[in-house]
Chains A and B, each alone.
Chain A
Amino acid sequence: MLIKERAVLALEDGTVYRGYAFGKRGETIGEVVFNTSMTGYQEIMTDPSYNGQIICMTYPHIGNYGINVYDMESNRPYVRGFIAREFTHTHSNHRATEGLEEFTTAHGVISISGIDTRALVRRLRQGGVVKGIVAHRSFTHPDDPYGEFSSDEEAAMVARARAYEDIDGRDMMPEVTTQLPYVWPAQANLEKGKRIVFMDFGIKHTIIKKLAEIGAEVIVVPATTTPAQIMALHPNGLFLSNGPGDPSAPTYTHETVWKLLGLLPTFGICLGHQILGLAVGGKTFKLKYGHRGGNHPVKNLLNGKIEITSQNHGYAVDTDSIQGHFRATHINLNDQTLEGMAHLRYPVFSVQYHPEASPGPHDSHYLFQRFIEEVNTFSGANALPTAKSSSGLIGV
C-alpha cells in the first residue's frame, strides 16, 4: 500500500523521523536504542532487559517468519516501542502461529516503520542513546489518520521526550521481577538434588531452560529476596539474572549478593554480572550506545578462544574497579570492554554477554555446563574455590 497511516518518532534532541504506524495504535515514550541482530525479533521483544526501551532493529525486514509460541523469552513483550524499516504483512514459516501485526496489536507494542532506520542508528552511534516518542496519527486524529502532524505537535513531542525521566538511576526491578517465587523442575536428572536459586532481575526463559536441561532444579525468587531467605531454600548454586536498566539503582541487590558471596557457586549474566561487580565495590558506567546484537567477538582470556556472542547491555563494569576481587576472563574485541570475570577466591563468575543466546550464536553454551560443574564439585560454604577455577580454567 502506498498510502498508510502516519506516525513519527520524535527524539529529545529535536530530530523527528516521519514514518508509518504499525502495531497497537497509541503513543509511547522510552529510551531509543538499536539492535543489530538480523533474526530474533520475537525473543528481543519479549526479553525483559528491554523494559523501558524503544528498539530500532537495524535489519530492515521484521516479521518475515511471524510469531510462534516457542520463542517467547517471557510471558509478554517488554519493549516500550518497536522500530523497523519495514514490517512484514505476509509472514511465512512452518513454526509461525500468528503474524507480527496481530501480536504487536494484541500486546500493545506501539511501532513505527518506513523511517530511515540507518540514519537513526548513525545518529545514535554518534550522539549516544536518547529518549524519544513514537506517536501514531490515529491516536490523536482518529478522523484523519493519513494526515501529517503539525510542527507544533512535533515540537510538543520533542519537549515531552526531553522531560521524560532518565533510565539512569531508576530502579526497574519492580517492573520486571517475579512477585512470588516459583519452581522450574529439572528436565534431566544428571545430578540428583542440585538446586539453583535464580535471582530474577528480569530473567529470560531460555536461561532457566538451559540449566534445567542439564539437570538443575531452578527456584526463581524476587529481586528483593534476602540472603537468609535464599539460604533457607538450601540451594547448591546461585544465579544472578539478566535484566533492564541501570545496575547501580537497585542497591539492595548489591547488598544481597555481597552477603552471599562465597557461600554458593555463583553465575551471573548481563545485569547479574554488573550487580556482582557492584557488590564487591566495583563501578559500572554507561556505554555511549550500548552493545545490542548477535555478532560481537569476545575473547576468552584463559584459553585464547574467540566466541561470537549475543549481547544486550547499555552499561558495563569498569575492569579496573574489580581488581583485588575478580580477574577479567573475557573481553570484547570491538572495544576492549569487560565481558567476563571470575572471582579470585570463590567459584563465582559472570559474563556480560548472553551465553544462552536467543537470539544469537550458540558459541558460549559451555558456560552453563561449567556452572553445573562448579555446583557439583562445591563442597561447602567455607571451602576454597575448586582447583579448576583457581587455576583459571573457567570457560574452558
Chain B
Amino acid sequence: MPKRTDIHTVLIIGSGPIQIGQAAEFDYSGTQALKALKTAGYRVVLVNSNPATIMTDPELADATYLEPLTIEFLEKVIAKERPDALLPTLGGQTALNLSLALADAGILEKYGVELIGANAEAINKGEDRQLFQQAMQKIGVECAKGKMIHTLEEALAWVVEIGYPAIIRPSFTLGGTGGGIARDEAEFIALLTQGLPMSPTHSALIEESIIGWKEFELEVMRDHNDTVVIITGIENFDPMGVHTGDSITVAPAQTLSDKEYQELRVISQKIIREIGVDTGGSNIQFAISPTDGRVIVIEMNPRVSRSSALASKATGFPIAKIAALLAVGYQLDELPNDITRVTPASFEPSIDYVVTKIPRFAFEKFPDAPQRLGTQMRSVGEVMAIGRTFKESFMKALRSLESDQRGDFEAMSASQLDALLEPTPKRFLSILELLRRGSSVDALHDRTKIDRWFLAQLEEVVAAERELKTLGTLETWKYELWREVKRLGLSDARLGELSGKSELEVRNLRKAAKCFPVYKTVDTCAAEFEAFTPYHYSSYEWEDEVRPTTKPKVMILGSGPNRIGQGVEFDYATVHAVWALREAGYETIMVNSNPETVSTDYDTADRLYFEPLTFEDVMNIVEHEQPIGVIVQLGGQTPLKLAAALEAAGAPIIGTSPSAIHLAEDRLEFNRLCTRLGILQPRGAVANTPAEALKLARELGFPLMARPSYVLGGRAMRTVHSQSDLEKYLTEVYSSVEGNPSILLDQFLENALELDVDCLCDGVIAVVAGVMEHVEAAGIHSGDSACILPPVHLSSTLLEEVHATTKHLALEIGVRGLMNVQYAIYKEQLYILEANPRASRTVPFVSKAIGHPLAKYAALIGVGQTLEQIGFTAAPVPSYYSAKEVHLPFLKFPGVIPVLGPEMKSTGESMGIDADPHLAYYRAQLGANVKLPRSGNVLLVGSGLEEIARRLETLGFITHSSVSDDNAVLPDLLIDLTGSRILRRALEAGQPFYTTLEAAQWLVSALEKLGGAVVGVSSLQEWQSTIV
C-alpha cells in the first residue's frame, strides 16, 4: 500500500531538553522523520522545547513550536494546527508518555487525531510491565520472574519468593530512573522508597536477578503488510546488571550461533506482532544464560530508541526515516534501500565490520555520587567506532572517548584495579591493565561475567603489545608488520608510549614504511551490491575504495561524544556549516565519532567519515582527501584542541587561525590584550604554592574564584570567601593530586549581572548577534544559568559598551567566524570574564531567537565570504523575548544536593518565547519540565527572601520559612538558598525548587504576570516573521 492520502498534517513531539537517557539520538530520529514526511508531501508540525536541536530549525517543520511539553500546551497546539495524525514513536519516552496521556485525556479523540505507528493499546502493552508479561505468557516467551507491586509491603512479601539480589524497575520512568539492584533488604527498602514515587503510576516491577547473563538487543521493524525485519543484533560487552545505555555494546552479536540468533529473531517477530506495533521500529532486549542458553525477554521499547540510532549508524539502515514512512502507509518493499538504490528496504543488513559503542560518563562532575553502574542509566554520551575486527573497533572507540587515562591505571595497586571491576565506568580500562599484568581470561570472566570471547580479544591486543616490543625498533619494521600492528587498533600515540617515541615520530616511521589506512564503506550489504552512499571508516586493509573527487572540499570536524558542557549544540553548529557549504557549492566532509547525532547521518554531508577525533585519525583523512579547508571552530573543544597540531602537520585550518585561538585562550596573552584595549578584567594571579596562594589572596582581596591550572577530574572551581575557605580548598586540592598544580585566583565579582555575547567577525567588520542576560548572578557557570535575550536589566549605555567592546575584541583577536564573550556588570562597570573564539553552546538559541543561522554564516566566513556578502551587517533586535532554562541531571546521582556552582552540570536546555520577558521565562521553566504550582505552600529557606515571600502571599500562596524535620511534608514550591537536604527530597519527589535569589525573583515576577494573561501558543516561524 502506498502512502495514505487521508492524512495531511502530522504532529511530531520531540523529547525536550537533553537529559541522561534521552539525548541527541532523538534529534537525529526526529530530524530524519521530519525530512522524510515533508518529502513525502505532508505538512508537519513539531513541538519540542529544546532549542539546541536541529529538528527545531524553522526550515525543517512547517510549524515549529518551542513550547513546553505538557498536555496543556500540546492541546493548544493541536487546537490551533488541527493535525490529522500524531506520530508518537520518535521523541523518546517523553513523546510516548505524552501521546498516551493525550489519548487517555480524550484530547486526540476530541480533535480527531489518529495515533499512527503505534496505537495507545500497543504502547501500553509494551510499556506496562504487567501487560507486557501477560502478553509474553500468551505467546510462550519467558520473562524473568517478576511481580508488579504498588506498596513496599507488597514488595517485601514478594521478594521472599525470588530472593536477593532483586531488581527494581519503576514503571514508565526514563532510562531506568529510580530503579536498581538490591543485594539485601536494607538496599531493597532504600531503593523502593525512592523509586516508587518516581513512577507516574506508583508501581514497580520486582524481578529475579539475572545478573551476569549475556545481554542482547534486536532492532526490529514492521510494516502494514506484516513484514518484520531485524536491522541488527547488538551484544553487550557488559553482561546483565549494567543498564544497556551504560554498557559497552557491539554490533552485530558476536557469540551466538545461528540457531541461537534465529531463536531470538523468531521471538522478536512474535513479540512485535503480539504487542501490536503496527509499523516502525522497536527494540527488544534479551538475556541469555551463559551456561544453558535459557532465553529471557527483558523488555521491549515500542518506539525508536537510543539503540535504534546506534543500529542505524552501525548498519547504514535509516530506522527513523523508514519508521516515519511506514507510519504513513508505505511498505518496506515499496521503499528503496538508499544505499544500493536498486534493492528494497525489506531486507536485513549484513555487515562486514564490527561496531563498538562505549558510553561516556560525567561522574567527575558529581564527586559525591558513588561511581557504580547499575540498572539506572548515568552516562551522558557515547562514542561509536567501526573497525574490520572487534579489536580494531574497540581500540578506535577507546581513543574516541578523548579520556585516555592509562597512566592512572599503571600506578594502581591490584586491589584498586579489582575494586573497579565492580561495574564502574572504568571497568574495561582496569581489565586492560590487569591483562597487561598477566591476569587470565578465565579469572576475569569469573570476576566480571564478561564473555570470554571479548576478554580473549582484549588479551590478544595486550599480547601483541608485549610481542611487538620483541620485534626490533620501529625503524626496522616492514610494511606487513606495521599493518598487522595497526590492524589491532593500536594508535600511533600508544605505539609511541610502547617504544619511547613521540606520536609524530611513530607516524613518520609508519608512513615511511608505506603503511596508510584505507577507507571502506558502510553499505548494509557486505559489498554484495554497489553502494552509493558516502559513509566511510578507516582500516588497515589492501583496497582503498574511497576515491577523493576533484571538487573543492571543506572538512568539518564534529564534536565527539556528548558530555556535560559539550552537547548537541555543537552538532547543530557543525551540521549548519555542512548545509551552508553544500549550498555554496563545496563538497563537505564530516568527521565525527558520535552515533547519536544528525552530523553522522549519511546524507548530512557529501562524505561522512565515522572516525575518532584524534590527530592521527583526522590527519589521515586530511591527507587522503586534501581539503581546501578544515573547520575546527564549530565542534566545541574537541576539534579546537587539535587545531594547532593539525596546522603544524599541514592541514589548512580555515576560520579563526590557531594563533588567534591561542591569543584568546592563553591567560597571559589575553591579559595583555585586554589591558591594551582598556577592557576591565577581574584582578587575578597565579600561585605556585599554597603559601603563595594565601599571600596573593590577601593582596587581591576576597571573595575569590579559585581553580587549579589544569582540570582535575571534578575538583575544579570554587568561590572562596575568606582565608579559611581558601586554606580548606588548597588542602583539598594539594592532598588529592600528585605534584603541585599552580592555582589560579581571580577576583570574584559578587552578585554581578552576567552576560553572554555571541558575535560574528569576518576580519573587516564584527557583528554582535545577540546579548543574553543571565538570570543567575556571576559565580554560577554560564552553561547552568537561565538567560534572556534581549537583556532586560542593562542600560543602553552599557549595552552600547558591550557591543563596542565585543567588536573591538573580535577584530583585535583576528576572529574569522564566531566568538562568544562572557561579561559581568559589577558596580555599573563592564568586566570581561572570558572570550572563546569558537561557536558557543548558545549559538542555536541565539540563531532561533533572532532568525539568523549564525553557524552557517561562520562557515561561509571560513571560506572567504564577508558579512556584507552574506548580508548580515547588523543583527535584528526582536520585539519579543527568548528565555533559556537548563535541565540538570542531579536525580541520577544519589545523595547529591542539587545546587548550582561554577562547574557546569546541566545536560540540556529549553527555550520559551513570549512578548513579555517574564512569561518567556515561565515557558522556559515549563519547557525544562519544572512543574510550577499556581497556588499552595511555599517554603522559603535563606536570607533576603522577605520581599519574595510577600509577593507570593499576594498571589495567594501560603508561605513557610522553616522546616520542622527531614520528614516534613514537602511544599508545593521550594525556594532554598542554603543548599539544605530538603532540596534533594524535592528533587526526588519531582517538586519544583529554586536555589538562587535571582531565579526566585524571575519566577515570582512570572507568576505575577501570569495572573490574568492568556498564554497562547505561537510557532517559531510566526515569531520570526515579526522580525523586521
Contacts and interface: CB of A to CB of B under 8 A. Distances in A.
The 9 closest A-B pairs by CB, nearest first: A119-B543, A90-B456, A40-B258, A359-B258, A58-B526, A116-B542, A92-B453, A39-B258, A36-B350
B520 A118 contact: yes
B569 interface: no
A4 to B, nearest CB: 8
Nearest to A43: B258
Given A94-B293, A294-B348, A64 B453 contact: yes
Interface of B: 225-227, 229, 252-262, 265-266, 289-293, 331-333, 342-344, 346-354, 388-390, 441, 451-453, 456, 460, 463-464, 467-468, 471, 481, 484-485, 520, 525-530, 541-543, 545
24 contacts: A2-B467, A38-B351, A42-B257, A43-B258, A59-B526, A61-B354, A71-B257, A85-B388, A85-B389, A88-B453, A93-B256, A93-B257, A94-B292, A95-B293, A115-B542, A116-B542, A118-B541, A121-B528, A122-B543, A294-B350, A295-B347, A357-B258, A358-B258, A362-B266
B353 A60 contact: yes
A129 to B, nearest CB: 13
A122 B352 CA distance: 12
Nearest to A333: B344
A125 B527 contact: yes
A2 B468 contact: yes
B343 to A, nearest CB: 5
A304 interface: yes
Given A43-B258, A94-B293, A361 B348 contact: yes
A65 B254 CA distance: 8
A305 B227 contact: yes
Contacts of B520: 118
Interface centre among A117, A122, A306 (most CB of B within 10 A): A306
Interface size class for chain A? 35 or more
Interface centre among A85, A118, A305, A362 (most CB of B within 10 A): A118
Given A37-B350, A58-B526, A64-B254, A92 B543 contact: no
Contacts of A116: 541-543
B528 A333 contact: no
Contacts of B484: 2
B541 to A, nearest CB: 4
A296 B253 CA distance: 20
B445 to A, nearest CB: 9
Contacts of B292: 94
Interface in A67-118: 68, 70-71, 85-86, 88-95, 115-118
A40 B333 CA distance: 26
A43 B481 CA distance: 34
B542 A17 contact: yes
A242 B331 CA distance: 32
A70 to B, nearest CB: 7
Q: Is the interface of B mostly helix, strand, loop or mixed?
A: loop
A92 B452 contact: yes
A299 B333 contact: yes
Interface of A: 1-3, 17, 34, 36-40, 42-43, 58-61, 64-65, 68, 70-71, 85-86, 88-95, 115-119, 121-122, 125, 293-297, 299, 304-306, 308, 333-334, 357-362
A71 B257 CA distance: 9
Contacts of A38: 252, 350-351
Nearest to A85: B388
A68 B257 CA distance: 10
Contacts of B260: 65, 93, 95
Interface centre among A92, A296, A305, A362 (most CB of B within 10 A): A92
A299 B347 CA distance: 11
B266 A90 contact: no
Given A118-B541, A362-B266, A60 B354 contact: yes
A3 B289 CA distance: 37
A60 B526 CA distance: 10
Nearest to B353: A60
Given A1-B467, A64-B453, A90-B456, A121 B258 contact: no
Nearest to A91: B453
A295 B258 contact: no
A117 to B, nearest CB: 7
A59 B229 contact: no
A306 B291 contact: no
Given A2-B464, A2-B471, A85-B388, A295 B348 contact: yes
A305 B222 CA distance: 12
A381 to B, nearest CB: 38
Q: Is the interface of A mostly helix, strand, loop or mixed?
A: loop
B427 to A, nearest CB: 19
B350 A357 contact: no
B400 to A, nearest CB: 20
Contacts of B528: 34, 36, 58, 121, 125, 293
Given A2-B485, A89-B460, 10 more contacts: A61-B390, A118-B520, A118-B543, A125-B528, A293-B526, A305-B226, A308-B347, A334-B343, A359-B262, A362-B262
Contacts of B262: 357, 359-362
A198 B807 CA distance: 86
A70 B471 CA distance: 43
Contacts of A92: 255, 451-453, 456
B259 A70 contact: yes
Contacts of A71: 257-259
A36 B526 contact: yes
Given A1-B467, A122-B545, A58 B346 contact: no
Contacts of A70: 259
A59 to B, nearest CB: 6
B17 to A, nearest CB: 38
Contact of B291 (A59, A94, A304): A94
Contact of B290 (A1, A94, A117, A359): A94
A314 to B, nearest CB: 14
Contact of B352 (A65, A95, A117): A117
B468 A333 contact: no
A357 B259 CA distance: 10
Contacts of B460: 89
A12 B212 CA distance: 50
Contacts of A34: 528
A175 B226 CA distance: 42
Contacts of A357: 258, 262
A334 B526 contact: no
Contact of B527 (A121, A361, A362): A121
A295 B543 contact: no
Interface centre among A38, A43, A95, A121 (most CB of B within 10 A): A38
A64 B225 contact: no
Contacts of B389: 60-61, 85-86
Contacts of B259: 70-71, 95, 358
A37 B258 contact: yes
A117 B289 CA distance: 33
Nearest to B459: A90
A90 B441 contact: yes
A121 B257 contact: no
A65 B256 contact: yes
B347 A296 contact: yes
Contacts of B265: 361-362
A359 B256 CA distance: 12
A360 B348 CA distance: 11
Contacts of A94: 289-293
Contacts of A42: 257
Contacts of B290: 94
A2 B490 CA distance: 13
A333 B354 contact: no
B261 A58 contact: no
A90 B453 CA distance: 6
Contacts of A308: 229, 346-348
A90 B452 contact: yes
B261 A39 contact: yes
A7 to B, nearest CB: 13
Given A64-B254, A118-B520, A361-B262, A58 B527 contact: yes
